Structure 1
């Protein structure tokens, strides 16, 4: 018969084995969840979803996980955490184009405009490199910060800037410029613990149960990036490119709003207050982009105007569900217009 201390020790040992088994199972199925993303409040990414796709970034707030495999037809991300081939494997090029943007730039499983653009510009004499720096959920605030890294690390000859959608979504608590991704000293102490999948699972379950209840309601006119800040970000990106001797193209964000079918979930999930507000709001941000390009002397590629000359159903598979991300034909049109703008800018330079 075991003594009382012996039974207690056996119980502790059994409990440790159960915890180890749970840790092994969670690692085997590839579970990951970083609680620090829950401290930042956004409509996208929400605290209890898509946590496996992103990782915290002290400057950019979040970034895509390197080599992440989305499945569902998407290609695996490269080691830099972007869509496309390993950027480090590319040879130096005098015709390198960096495309900064959000999920519209990132693309759909079947298409993205950066791949089509490369095919349209590539020649035997002047092989083109078109690098996709689109990150789902990014605003111009994050794009402005990412551009510093892109100019420093990849030395493009051209930069294409395409933001707007995430900029004009409602802020959850704080606008992007007021968000903080830095960890506290207590969080630093918990660093090793955060690596345990079991610890991550507990935080994931907690986010499901109380995450939404703790969200502050959107304040009046609190957008992720105000129109004034949107203009400031675009102008700053244009100036940064100029200082680096890089040609810059500012694009407007096309949409399927003309269909008149604004998805209800945009209001339900607090992206906007009322579906009727979306058309004038999106038009305002596109006008800001036009004005910023015009006043800064940058090349404007008015994709929104180009889409307006075609039937919405040709360019969006189901605008009633997704009026943000074009279909393959829409991406083809985007690439056509951007290729024209690149050639025009190249000739002038």
Structure 2
């Protein structure tokens, strides 16, 4: 018993030391964490038309050790936003569709560009209410399906679609959808067990140990492996756009989406999300963005392209999460907000965001 007590006291001491070290690391921000953000257990559920969606009224936190202080609150309609019910002073209600970039992976809800665009002025009025319909890994097929489902109760007056450069992917070829289906059909650990594990994982001690492991693994990569880690996703995207099947799928979805919203007389437009590799090396990685612009131009569809606003920043890496070329940091969301805001102002939203060809002054210019 004495030996067991000694071991327990020793383990408690080690835990407290790690807890203190973790607290200093994360709370005092003595170093930038490099862990992934991760999604919590119970967030994703199967959906008959979309393949998967978020559990309505879910409450949790990001799983990654660097982001576990950031909460995820899902509204009754199944999106990371406050309730979509109309409120006095809403003004024009604009639904913003997209994937994890719109969802705000790795940032707090109030740090996203949609909330920045939604903030009230000195009189308490915004003139517009941004409805965030971002869901991780959604592609253009999901956006079309959401439109066919009347945006699951959002009831927008206008729609913006945030395009990430891999949105040509098929809805069926989607990891979250397959996992949601398996979760619904096969045995899995009870949700309460997963929640307990995640709660333990949120202690500073466990987070700090995971951070050490991640840093050690990353340190073992050679220069070529590190370069591949940072560019692999974008290389896949560049190759994907060379596929006639992928391009045709995107064009078909784009045409169907445009026809559907025009038939409803619902104004709509698009946002092209800049990617870090394309910003740093447009000659090698800029083709997908140029191709998407070309497809939109051919159809006379309006879009906001914040590429130049991002490219002008002195520290491009600071606009993205650590070791992440796709998802924006709070600073990146601020740049995106200001760029889209200027674009919408040029559009004169109520009269121009309608899918018709914009004049040259209304387009977000790009010198690249």
C-alpha contact (below 8 Å) 1:73/1:109 kept by paired residues: yes
Pair 1:243-2:258 in alignment: no
After superposition, the CA RMSD in angstroms is 4.3
Q: Select the residue among 279, 289, 294 that pairs with 1:291.
A: 294
Residue 318 of structure 1 deviates from its aligned partner by 5.1
When residues 243 and 166 of structure 1 are mapped into structure 2, their CA distance, relative to the original with a 3 A threshold, is same
User: Structure 2 matches for 1:181-330, cutoff 5 A?
Assistant: 197=190, 226-257=246-277, 280=284, 283-313=286-316, 315-317=318-320, 321-330=323-332
Q: 2 CA distance for matches of 1:343 and 1:156?
A: 19
Tell me what 2:73 maps to.
Answer: 76
SS at match of 1:341: helix
- The equivalent position to 2:45 in structure 1, one of 30, 33, 55, is 55
Matched, 1:88 2:78: no
Q: SS of 1:250's equivalent?
A: strand
TM-score (normalised: structure 2): 0.58
- Choose 114-123 or 290-299, whichever is displaced more: 114-123
In 1, the alpha carbon distance for the partners of 2:122 and 2:51 equals 34
Aligned equivalents of 1:78 and 1:328: distance in 2?
22
Measured against aligned partners, the alpha-carbon deviations of 1:312-334 in whole angstroms (never above 9, x if no partner) come to 43642556x11111111211111
Q: Which residue of 2 aligns with 1:131?
A: 131
Q: Classify the secondary structure of the residue corresponding to 1:241.
A: helix
Structure 1 regions of 5+ residues with no counterpart? 1-45, 202-217, 262-277
Pairing partner for 2:56 from 51, 55, 66: 66
For these two proteins, the number of residue pairs brought into alignment is 261
**In 2, Cα distance between equivalents of 1:123 and 1:82:** 28
Q: Please say if residues 95 and 157 of structure 1, whose CA atoms lie closer than 8 Å, have aligned partners that are also in contact.
A: yes
Native 8 Å contact 1:116 1:335 kept in 2: yes
Shift of 1:252: 0.9
Q: Tell me if structure 2 keeps the 8 A contact 1:139–1:165.
A: no
* C-alpha contact (below 8 Å) 1:96/1:131 kept by paired residues: yes
Structure 2 residue runs without a partner (length 5+): 1-37, 62-68, 195-235, 353-368
Alpha carbons 1:105, 1:135 under 8 Å: kept: yes
Once the two structures are superposed, residues 271-300 of structure 1 have per-residue CA deviations (whole angstroms, 9 ceiling, x without a partner) of xxxxxxx9856x343233312332232221
Q: Superposed, which structure 2 residues align to 1:3-18 within 5 Å?
A: none
| Alpha-carbon spacing, 1:229–1:280, altered in 2? closer, same or farther (3 Å) | farther
TM-fit CA distance, 1:340: 2.0
Q: How far off its partner does 1:166 sit?
A: 4.3
Residue of structure 1 equivalent to 2:147: 147
Aligned twin of 2:343? 341
Counterpart for residue 36 of structure 1: none
1:139-172 CA distance string (max 9 Å, x none): 1111111122345733322211112244367x89
